[in-house]
Structure 1
Amino acid sequence: MEMQQKKGNRAIVIWLFTGVAMIIVQVLLGGITRLTGSGLSITEWKPILGALPPMNEAAWQAAFEKYQQIGQAKYINSHFTLSDFKWIYFWEWLHRNWARLIGIVFILPFVWFIIKKKIDRSMIVPMIMLLVLGALQGLIGWVMVKSGLNEENLYVSHIRLAIHFIAALGLLWYVLWFALKLTVPAGSIVQAPSLRKLSGWVLCMLVLQLIYGAFMAGLHAALAATTWPSINGFAVPPGMFSQGGFLEDATHNQITIQFIHRGLAYLLTILIAIWYLRSARLPQLATVRALALLTVLLQVFLGVLTVLNSDVKIPLGFALAHQFTGMALLMVMIWARFVTRR
Structure 2
Amino acid sequence: MPFDVPLPSAEARARADRRSVALWLLAVAGMVWVMVALGGATRLTGSGLSIMEWAPLSGTLPPLSEAEWNRLYDLYRTIPQYALVNQGFGLEGFKQIFWLEWAHRLWGRLIGLAYALPLAWFWLRGRIPAGYRGRLLLLLVLGGLQGAVGWFMVASGFEADRTTVSPYRLVMHLGLALGLFAALLWTGLGLLRTGSGTAPGVASLRRQVKAAAWLVVAAMLAGGFVAGNRAGLAYNTFPLMEGRLVPEGYWQLAPAWTNLTLNIAAVQFNHRLLATLAGLAALGAAARAWARLPPGFARTACLALGAATLWQYGLGVATLLAVVPVWLGTLHQASAVLVLATALIALHGLRAPERLG
TM-score range, shorter chain: over 0.9
Could you say which residue in structure 1 is the equivalent of 2:266?
256
- The one-letter amino acid paired with 1:282 is L
Query: 1:7 is matched with which residue: 5, 16, 20?
Result: 16
Q: CA deviation at 1:183?
A: 2.0
Contact 2:210 2:347 (C-alpha < 8 Å) held by counterparts: yes
For residue 59 of structure 1, what is the aligned residue in structure 2?
Answer: 68
Is 1:99–2:108 an aligned residue pair?
A: yes
Aligned counterpart in structure 2 of residue 144 of structure 1, from 141, 144, 153:
153
Tell me, yes or no, if the aligned pair for 1:5 and 1:183 is still in contact at 8 Å: no
Q: Which residue of 2 aligns with 1:193?
A: 203
**Residue 10 of structure 1: how far off its partner (Å):** 3.7
**2:254 is aligned with 1:244:** yes
Correspondent of 1:281 among 292, 314, 318: 292
SS in 2 for 1:76: helix
One-letter amino acid of the counterpart of residue 78, structure 2: Q
C-alpha deviation, 1:207, in angstroms: 1.3
What SS class does the counterpart of residue 122 from structure 1 fall into? coil
Within 2, Cα distance between the matches of 1:265 and 1:40?
29
User: Which position in structure 1 is the counterpart of 2:28?
Assistant: 19
Q: Residues 211, 188 of structure 1: CA spacing in aligned structure 2 closer, same or farther, 3 A cutoff?
A: farther
Q: Report how far residue 5 of structure 1 moved.
A: 6.7
- Correspondence for 1:170: 179
What is the CA-CA distance between 1:245 and the residue it aligns to?
A: 4.2
State the AA in 1 paired with 2:322. N
Equivalent pair of 2:37/2:331 in contact (CA under 8 Å): no
Q: Percent identity?
A: 37
Amino acid across the alignment from 1:141? G
CA distance in 1, matches of 2:346, 2:14: 19
Higher Rg? 2
Aligned to 2:78: 69
- The answer to whether 1:296 aligns with 2:309 is yes
CA contact (8 A) 1:212 1:261 kept: yes
Superposed displacement of residue 169, structure 1: 0.6
Q: Which moved more, 1:121-130 or 1:132-141?
A: 121-130
Instruction: Kindly provide the amino acid, as one letter, of the partner of residue 284 in structure 2.
Output: I
Contact 2:215/2:278 (<8 A) preserved: yes
36, 47, 62: which one aligns with 2:56: 47
Q: Confirm or deny that 1:326 pairs with 2:339.
A: no
Which deviates more, 70-79 or 294-303? 70-79
Residue 305 of structure 1 aligns with an amino acid whose one-letter code is A
- Structure 1 unmatched ranges of 5 or more: none
Q: 1:189 to 1:138 in 2, by over 3 A?
A: farther
How many equivalent residue pairs? 336
Alignment partner, residue 337 of structure 1: 347
The alpha-carbon distance between structure 1 residues 162 and 189, as it changes in their structure 2 partners (threshold 3 A), is farther
1:26-82 C-alpha deviation (Å, 9 max, x unpaired): 111110111111111111111100111111111000000011111111222112210
- 1:166-211 deviation per Cα after TM superposition (whole angstroms, max 9, x unaligned): 1001000110011111223546743522222222222222111111
TM-score normalised to structure 2 length = 0.90
Structure 1 residue 155, shift from structure 2 partner: 1.1
- Structure 2 equivalent of residue 29 of structure 1: 38
Provide the C-alpha distance between the structure 1 equivalents of 2:271 and 2:198, rounded to a whole number of angstroms.
33
Calculate the aligned-residue CA RMSD, in Å.
Answer: 1.7
Structure 2 residue runs of 5 or longer lacking an equivalent are 1-12, 353-357
Displacement, 1:117? Answer: 2.0
In structure 2, how many angstroms separate the alpha carbons of the residues matched to 1:291 and 1:339?
12
Q: CA deviation at 1:336?
A: 1.6
Per the alignment, residue 207 of structure 1 pairs with 217
- TM, length-normalised to structure 1: 0.94
Q: Alpha carbons of 1:188 and 1:85: their partners in 2 closer, same or farther (altered >3 Å)?
A: farther
How many Å separate the matches in 2 of 1:324 and 1:156?
Answer: 20
**Residues 1:195 and 1:60: Cα distance change in structure 2 (over 3 Å):** same
Measure the CA separation in 2 of the matches of 1:53 and 1:90.
Answer: 8
Superposition misfits of 4+ residues, deviation over 3 angstroms:
185-189
Q: Look up the match of 2:326.
A: 316
Deviation at 1:340, TM superposition (A): 2.3
User: Which stretch of structure 1 is more off in the superposition, 9-18 or 41-50?
Assistant: 9-18
1:229 matched to 2:242: no
Tell me what 2:190 maps to. Answer: 181
